[in-house]
Amino acid sequence: MKRSLLFALMLLTAASTQAAEDPEKLAFFEAKIRPLLVKHCYECHSAEAGVAEGDLRVDSRAALRKGGDRGPAVVPGDVKSGWLLKVVSHADPDLKMPPKQKLSDAALADLRKWIELGAPDPREEAPASAKQVKAGRDFWSYQRPVNPARPAVKDAAWPKNDLDTFILAALEKKGLAPSPDAEPQVLLRRVHFDLVGLPPSPEALDRFAARVAKQGLDAALAAEVDALLARPQFGERWGRHWLDVARFAESSGKEANISFPYAWRYRDYVIDSVNADVPFDRFVREQIAGDLLPAEGNAERARLLIATGFLAIGSKNLDEGDERQFQADLIDEQIDTVTRAVMGSSVACARCHDHKFDPFSMEDYYGLAGIFGSSKTYFGTAVSPANRVGGDPLPLPAVEGQKVFHAGIPVEKVKSLKAEKARLAKQLEEGMAAAKKAVADGTDPEKQFTITDALRIFWVSGGIEGQLEKVSETGEPLPLAMGVLDRDVIADAPKLERGDVKRPAEKIRRAFPQALSQATVAIGERSSGRLELADWLTDPAHPLTSRVQVNRVWHHLFGAGLVRTPDNFGATGERPSHPELLDALALRFTEQGWSLKKLVREIVLSRTYRQASEHRAEAFRQDPENRLLWRASKRRLEAEAIRDAMLSAAGQLETKRPDASLVGRVIGDRPISLIGLDKRLPADLDGALYRSVYLPVIRDRLPDVLELFDFAEPSLVTGARETTNVPLQALYLMNSPFVQARAKALAERLGREADSDAARIRQVFLLCFARPPDEFEAQRALEFLKEGDAKKLASFCQAILSSAEFRNLD
C-alpha cells in the first residue's frame, strides 16, 4: 500500500514538474501574458513601480498567486477561483481593472487560456538585476562550441562512430551497459518511419533480411539509409519537422481568421530544399533574406522570394484597428520566431523590459525591431467586413510551368474596377472634407458623411484592391506568394516604454544581440539589416545556430533532444545531457557543410540508434528517463505518420504531390468561419489520399486526425510536440469515416493478395507491424475470421489499424 502511494506521488510530482517546464506553455506566457501584465498592470502592481495597490503585485509568479486583499489573484487550472480574470473582465461592479478601459476580448481569451493551461509562469520573486544579466553572458549556450577530446571507454568494440563513444563513456561512468542491437525487422521499421515517415513494405523486409544475412547488419543498414535519404519522401518527412518550427499555417488565426491562399508555396519550398539537401546555413539565409540574395534567372528569384514566406506566415490580428499596434505585433512575432527557431532563445521577451533570465536587453530587442520594421511583409489578404487589416500579396516573376489557382478577369473588368476604386477614393475625400467643414461650422458632421459611409467605402475599396492585386494590367492571373521585401525608407525603431506604441522614446540603432560571443556584423545605412542578420546567425562562430539544429535532429531520432527544451537554450531551459557530444556534433555539422542528410546518416548508423527498447530493471532504476540512452525509447508516431501508414497499408497512398493545397485550390482568400458552408469541403477537411503534410493547416480549424493526435500548435515555434493518450483518439479510430475506409481498403487488398485466412493474417501483420504474427496471435485471428465474410475481415483490419503497436515505434 505504501509503495503504491509512493508511486502515485512520484507520478504526480513528475507530472507537475513537466507542466511547469512545458516550453510551449511558457512560450504562450511570454508571448501573450507577460506583455499584457506589463502594459496594463505593472504601473500600479509591481516592485519596479514601487506600488502594490490592494496589496497586490503581479510581477512574479509567487506574488500573483498569493494575491492581495481579496486572496489569490490566479489559481492555476481554475478560472473561477482566482479573482484576476473577473476584475479585468469588468464583471465585478465594485472593482474594474484596468479602471479606464476593459481589456479586449482577445486579451481576456488569452488570460483564460493561460489559467486553464495551469498558469505557467517562469518569473522568480525578484526581477533580475543588471549584474545577473551580465553574468548570463557566461552561460554555457552563449559560448562558442569547443571541440572536446574523445573519451576513453572500456568496451572499445561497441562504438560504431565517435558519437557512440560519448554515449558509452557516460553509461560506463554510471556502471551501465548499452542494450543489444534491435532485431533487424524492428530496426528497419524504426529507420523507415524516422527517415520517410512510412512503414517498410513486406518486400523491403525480405530484401533487408537477405542483405543482412549476406553482408551483415552494418552494410545492410547503410545501404537502406542511403536509399531512404534519396527518396522524395525524406523531404516530406523532415520538411514537416521544420514547418513545425516555422509555425506554418494557411490562415491568420485569432478573431478575424482569414485564409492565406499562397502559403502552400512556402511549404513546397521547404520540402524541396530538404530533398535537395540545401545546406542549413543557406536554408536559414534564404528564409530571412532570400529577396536580398543574388539569383540566376526567374526560377531562382521566385524560389528565393517564396523562401521569405517564413517571415510572413505567422498569426496576425487582422481585426486590429491601430496600424501602429498591428505593425508592432507583427514585428514582435517575427523577432520571436527567428530567435526561437534559429537560436533556441527568444529575444521577444525583452519587448517591455530587459530579459529577466537571459542576457537580452530592450536595446537588443529594438535593434532587431528596426531590422524587421524596415521590411514590408506581404501576406495577401484583402480587407473585408470580416477583417480591418489587409496585406498585399508578393508577385513572383513568371516561370514556365508555374501554377496559379485564382482566376483571371477580362481586361474591361480591370478598367472598370480601377475606375470604381478611383470614384470611391474621390467620394471618401469629398465626404471627409464635408464632415470636417461641418465640424468647423458647428453643425453635425454625421449629416454630411456618416461612419457607415466610411466603412462601406473602406470595405468595397478593399475588395476591389484585392481583385486587382491578383491580376496583371490585362487581367491575366499573377503568380503570388507570401514573403518580405525591404522598404523604400530604412529606419531605426524607437524604444517603446513598457512596449507601448503610444510611448516611444529614443531610437535604437539597428543591431543584433550583443551578448553572444562572436564578431559583430555592421549594418549599412541603406540596408534593412536582414541580410546581415542572416549572415550573423549562420556564422560558424555563432554559439547557438548549429547546436540548436543538431539538437532538433537528435530529438526527432531519439524522442528527446540532448537538450530536452529544443526551443529554449536559455536559463529556464534544460541543460544538455551530453554537452561534449552536443558540441562535437555541432562543430562537425558546420565542418561538413551544414548537411542535414549527412548528420541524419551519421546518427542513424550509430550503435546508439540501433539499440533494442527492452526494459532493464537495474538501468531503469538508475536512469528512469533514459537520458543516458541505455536503450531505444519507445515512441508514438506523429499524427501524419499514423494517417500515412494507414494509407500505405491499405495500398491507397498517393505519393505524387497535389497541386497547391485545399486552401489554395478551393477555399481561397476568405474568412475561415464561412468554410463550413462550402459543400465542396469534407467536414473533417480530410478526404484525400495524399500524404498528410499536404493537408490544410488552418489555425483553429485543423483536420480531425491532426487535431486529435497532437499536431504542433501552428501559431508557435514548436520543436517538440506533446504526446497524449486520450479517449477522443480511441473514438476517432473506432468511428472515423477515414479509418473505416482504410480498413475496408486494407481488407480488399488482403483479399487480392492472399488466398487463405492464414496468409491474409500474415500479410496484414507484415504490412502494419513489419513482423509476422506469433503463434498465439495467428490462432486467435484465425478463430475470429473463421467462416467470416468481407465485413468481418474489415473489422479485423480496423482493429489492427487501431492497435497500440500500429501507432508506436519500438
pLDDT at 645 over 60: yes
Confidence of residue 14 (pLDDT cuts 50, 70, 90): very low
Quote the mean pLDDT of the chain.
91
Q: Are 700 and 684 a contacting pair, CB within 8 Å? A: no
Name the 3-class secondary structure at 280.
helix
Q: Give the per-residue pLDDT at 18.
A: 39
Question: For the segment 174-229, what is each residue's pLDDT rounded down to a tens digit?
Answer: 999 999 999 999 999 999 999 999 999 999 999 999 999 999 999 999 999 999 99
Q: Is the pLDDT of residue 709 over 80?
A: yes
C-beta separation of 469 from 393 below 8 A: yes
Helices (H), 216-322: 217-229, 232-245, 264-275, 280-289, 297-307
622 or 127, greater pLDDT:
622
Per-residue pLDDT, 126: 46
Beta bridge partners of 671: 258
* Rounded mean pLDDT, 425-429: 90
Find the mean pLDDT for residues 101-107: 84
Q: Looking at this protein, which amino acid is placed at residue 594?
A: W
The helix/strand/coil state of 412 is: helix
Mean pLDDT, range 408-434, rounded to an integer: 91
* pLDDT band, residue 52 (cuts 50/70/90): low
- Of 48-52, 583-587, 774-778, which gets the smallest average pLDDT? 48-52
Q: Give the bridge partners for 481, in sequence order.
A: 394
Q: What percent of the residues of the chain are helix, what percent strand, and what percent coil, each to the nearest 5?
A: 50, 5, 45
Which grid coordinates belong to 145? Answer: 562550441
The pLDDT assigned to 7 comes to 35
Which pLDDT belongs to residue 6? 32
pLDDT digits (tens, 9 = 90+) for 445-472: 787 888 888 889 988 988 999 999 999 9
When mean pLDDT is compared over 95-109, 379-393, 417-431, 587-601, the highest value belongs to 587-601
Model confidence over 670-679: pLDDT tens digits?
A: 899 998 888 8
Predicted confidence at residue 440, as pLDDT, reads: 85
Q: Which residues are CB-neighbours of 791 under 8 A, at least 6 positions away?
A: none
Query: Mean of the pLDDT values across residues 321-340?
Result: 96
Domain boundaries, the chain: 22-121, 411-471, 737-809
Euclidean distance between CA atoms 621 and 299, whole angstroms: 57
- Give how far the C-alpha of residue 469 lies from the chain's centroid of Cα atoms, to the nearest Å: 29
**Is residue 364 scored above 80 in pLDDT?**
yes
Q: What is the pLDDT of residue 609?
A: 98
pLDDT of residue 518: 63
What is residue 341's predicted lDDT score, i.e. its pLDDT?
98
pLDDT per residue over 479-508, tens digit each? 999 999 999 999 999 999 989 999 999 999
Q: What is the pLDDT of residue 4?
A: 38
pLDDT the model gives residue 790: 77
Helices (H), 117-153: 130-136
User: What's the mean pLDDT in 786-798?
Assistant: 88
Q: Reduce the DSSP state of residue 778 to 3 states and report it.
A: helix
* Lowest-confidence region among 344-348, 644-648, 762-766: 344-348
Cβ contacts of 615-620, under 8 Å, gap ≥ 24 = 616/179, 618/176, 619/176, 619/177
Determine the pLDDT at residue 26.
Answer: 80
Please determine, for residue 61, whether its predicted confidence score (pLDDT) is greater than 90.
no
Q: Which three cell numbers stand for residue 632?
A: 531505444
Lookup result for grid cell 521590411? 375
Q: Which set of grid coordinates corresponds to residue 272?
A: 524541396
For residue range 164-174, what is the model confidence (pLDDT) as tens digits?
999 999 999 99
